[in-house]
Amino acid sequence: MCCSNKSIFVCKQHISIKMNHSTGQLKVYNSLSGTKEEFKPIKDGFVGMYVCGPTLYSEPHMGNMRTFINFDTIYRYLLKLGYKVKYVRNITDAGHITNSAGISEDNIGKAAKLEQVQPLEIVYKFNTKFQELQRVYNMLPPSIEPTATGHIQEQIEIIEKIIENGFAYVKNGSVYFDVRKYSQKYNYGILSGRKIDELEQETRELNAQDEKEFFADFALWKKANPDDMQIWRSPWGDGNPGWHIECTAMSTKYLGDQFDIHGGGMDLKFPHHEDEIAQNCGSLGCNPARYWMHANMLNVNGQKMSKSFGNYFLPLEIVEGTAELFDKPYSPGVIRFLMMQSHYRSTMDMTPKSLDDAEKAYGRFMDAIDLLEKVQASKESTYDVSAMVDGFYDAMNDDFNAPMLIANLFEAVKYINSVNDGKAMITKDDLELLSREMKSFVFDVLGIAPLTGGDDSKLNGVMDLVLDLRQKARSEKDWGTSDQIRDGLAAAGIVVKDSKDGSNWN
């Protein structure tokens, strides 16, 4: 039994991967084992990957986007290695959010009531915003993007299997997963390491009057309340599905009872992913994923991003220059480049300085890539370019280590500049190899688009000079020159904003 203490998976088909352009072996950190493991897909040449997507009651914040961008990079590298990847990322459009204390709150319904609209309007509004964010941040669309409300029947069928197998019970029109009975056969806590006795200490007071038979039981189906805005029919009465069941139903429908990768944010490890494993074992007898991957959190100015800390902003605000924390807008490419400088399993801190540094660094990348088209080839190379390119693969093969990849790419940048300055040489074949692989890793794997227009790093330097000249004119009360600069920039499509802290542009 693949979810027992003794064994995680039923089938262990050690199939070799066909690695393109590299002799290395991809290793992935598996949250299930707590170690890096060689990546061995269930089917040779194919990868099934499921990632928990957005819940559409509000616009995703920057921390959410970091998770989606990280898994987009993982997806991109798997494609570069030559795998055929079926990437499934769900959309939660049913109001069944449940927190770790077991208290249900329909955030979609709450938002709909607040705006006095139907839940579908809230869902459509924020799905439109999310699709725009995917385009802005240059994310590849997943292979399939299923919705929770489009798979109610599949969720009901999974619940029926869990009941049939004796791991759930019906109570007053609701259905609860029986953790106590499940734990007699499987290890509840296999992913998160949480112990049931510790959970009881944390949640005893909150669940004292709950209708559940055991404090750790969680809802698979909840009986409808009179004020619920989303209600579906089921064998147990009208109601709505629990939080976790949608991912079990959709991941197994599109990827099979077992698939290769299940990903999401670190905050989903417990209870969401833990309960997904329990549901899959309870219905199908196996852990759904071979590798569980979790992306870490985003900090802003040294603190967890939170409205209460005053460091909360939305992904479009930083691009448009309307985020109060930052003095100017930043290109989505620069933001993505900054994110790639932290490993997906590490926390990262976003500050004005880190963004400014990333902007300058990415400018150097673009300059170097431009130089690749201009440098003159020689009869020999003064650097082992093949080993340099292998270093790109070695970095990403080490659990998608994007920061190490960037460090290796910077070594390539130094080499290109040395060749351009006449201090080093490169053959035509090496030049073609380096050009092809650098562009592939920067644009195709890291997913960073070239800076253009008002976001170009060179233009940023020019604008700093122009605003300094305008500020000098203002300090000397030369209002004519000050206005001339402002109006001239406006005619070119650049808006200057004056504030007590100075001027910025967009």
Q: How far apart are CA 48 and CA 71, in angstroms?
A: 13
**Per-residue pLDDT at 146 exceeds 80:** yes
Overall average pLDDT of the 147-165 stretch: 97
Q: Among residues of the chain, what percentage have pLDDT more than 70? A: 84
Overall average pLDDT of the 399-423 stretch: 96
Overall average pLDDT of the 476-494 stretch: 72
Q: Which of 10, 16, 22, 1 is nearest to 445 (CA)?
A: 22
Q: How far apart are CA 143 and CA 251, in angstroms?
A: 12
**Per-residue pLDDT at 8 exceeds 60:** no
pTM: 0.84
Residue 117 confidence (pLDDT): 63
Q: Which of 211, 174, 347, 196 is nearest to 274 (CA)?
A: 196
Which residue would you say has higher pLDDT here, 155 or 462?
155
The distance of Cα 38 from the centroid of its chain, to the nearest Å, equals 22
- Helical H segments across 303-401, by residue range: 315-320, 332-340, 352-371, 385-397
Give the mean pLDDT of the chain.
86
**Per-residue pLDDT at 167 exceeds 60:** yes
Phi/psi at 303 (5° precision): -130, 155
Residue 311 confidence (pLDDT): 86
Residue 467 confidence (pLDDT): 80
Q: Are strands 218-223 and 174-177 parallel, antiparallel or unpaired?
A: antiparallel
Phi/psi-derived region of residue 363, left when phi > 0, alpha when psi is between -120 and 50, beta in every other case = alpha
Q: How far apart are CA 379 and CA 429, in angstroms?
A: 10
pLDDT digits (tens, 9 = 90+) for 271-317: 999 999 999 999 999 999 999 999 999 999 999 888 778 788 999 99
Residue 452 confidence (pLDDT): 57
Overall average pLDDT of the 390-396 stretch: 98
Phi/psi-derived region of residue 502, left when phi > 0, alpha when psi is between -120 and 50, beta in every other case = left
Overall average pLDDT of the 165-190 stretch: 97
Residue 464 confidence (pLDDT): 72
**Per-residue pLDDT at 203 exceeds 90:** no
Torsion over CA: 85, 442, 320, 317 (sign): positive
* Residue-wise DSSP of 250-262: HHHHHH-SSEEEE
Residue 459 confidence (pLDDT): 62
Residue 206 confidence (pLDDT): 43
Q: How far apart are CA 387 and CA 393, in angstroms?
A: 10
